[in-house]
Structure 1
Amino acid sequence: MTSIDASSTPSDDRSALRANCADCFALCCTAFGFQRSTDFPIDKPAGTPCLNLADDFSCTIHESLRPRGFRGCTVFDCFGAGQLVSQELFSGTSWRDRPDTSPEMFATFSVVRQLQEMRWYLVEAAERTAATDLMAHISRLRTGIQRILDGGTSEILACDVESLRADVRHLLIDVSEEARGGYLAGADTEPGDDLHPSADLAGRDLRARRLCGADLRGAILIGADLRGADLAGVDLLGADLRDTRLDGADLSAALFLTQMQLNAARGDEAALLPTTLDRPGHWTTASRASSPTDGELSP
């Protein structure tokens, strides 16, 4: 195994934080386990290859994962951890070629995936704030995470991930407060909206609403109807968007939105997204484009 030195490390921007499955040893299909559920039709123990994994580490049912019940696979994003672990930290030698490395490789992938996610958020935080003290904090955190990655597998496995996540979380809250301040004046809120961090908004009808500047960090929005809603400046850090209706919604200026959240939601071609994220393929086939004034939530 090798550490990542300065000459081999990609620049700390989003290009280094996007998954490249072609350069990965299918770590998400092996390291993690899952149980039979609405997201997976079978049980798979952690540390074992998925039954759909081919010899070249590709997925044999990639084009039909959702119809076959593997929705969870289409939602997951490693933030580039897969290729970093496979090609950099383990020098391009797979767990199949060196079975003895698999426990360390899989454990390293689990930690690196979290570090990469934090780096993604910190890139956005740097773009959102103009405060000198916050920028300095962001810089310290990014440098610290890079130092851990440069230390190789021993440094990565020894790092205090939970403490680091807590530090990043507090920083993101501070950045959110600053960023949302410029949007709150345009919010269309009503008594009883209950729009606050960790709010339970499952199934809530919020169609065509201006929710600008709302703090929905960690909110439960499972099956909520946000068709046609304006989400400018809305903090969606860690919000659960499973089956949330986003048809025609404006998420172009939403805060701390990730590809995983979009992949878990439902939407259409009319939804406006941040330029840094991709429109999920299933939106145009599994979601029905509809007016925000339609009747009850579509099945």
Structure 2
Amino acid sequence: ARHLDRANGRVSAAQLGADEFVGPPLGGVLVALGTALPLLASGALYAGAALFFLALPRRSRAAAREAGAERMLSAPISAFSMVIEGAGWLRGHRLLGGLAIVGGLASVAYAAPFAVLVLVATERLGLDAAGYGVLLAVSALGGLVGSFVTARLRGRWGYRRTIVGSVVLGAGTMAALAGVTVPWVAAVLLAGYIGHAVVWGICVSSLRQRLVPDRLRGRVNASSKLVSLAGLTLGALLGGTLASGVGLAAPFALAAVLFAGCAVAVRALLRPDS
């Protein structure tokens, strides 16, 4: 399990580094050189990624038969049916099914405040475009820290306390961000917030990799991802609605309440010795 946590942490760090510290600066340089260049570069990178996928070795029929995946080679299966099969497996698994639902609620809590974060940064914190970029960069540093410490935390505290602790951290940072007016304090809180999300993601990914059969792992991951994406969509909608109808603090208060509920749910789902 420690190796899974460490490997998932490295993957998370690589993704976060590319998303937050390579992509945005590169995009800025390309925009300065020509407005069409970012689109051309994006298309070229997607094409390069596709070529890398094509270069991956294919599994032989004998290996697929040993892994119980022969049916995948004998007949094409739609992506929708794969997601349905993964959802059916999740429904029958108390822990991972419950974590998928909690993950959907956490996604609502994640997206609601981020839908209005730029308004908070400009109207309440008084930041300009450059300041907002710095705010996001500092928050991403929290994610990098989370990706490197998760394996150690899990090894010392176990999955239950690590996940519950991370979600409690998310609730606390959201509650504090609801009223913060000092930019550097907001940056520190956001770093803790992103760090909690990374710790959560690594731990849940490791649990899925340990508990889901190889043949179904991609389908279960797809089903869980679908629930999370639905939560992000709903959260963004709720965040914008609450901000316009109640105030900018409302999405953060909602997120704090949802994360607190998620912490209670995770504590009930995971055994004390996990």
What is the TM-score normalised by the length of structure 1? 0.30
Q: Which of the two has greater helix per residue?
A: 2
Question: Whose RCO is larger (CA < 8 A, sep 6+)?
Answer: 2
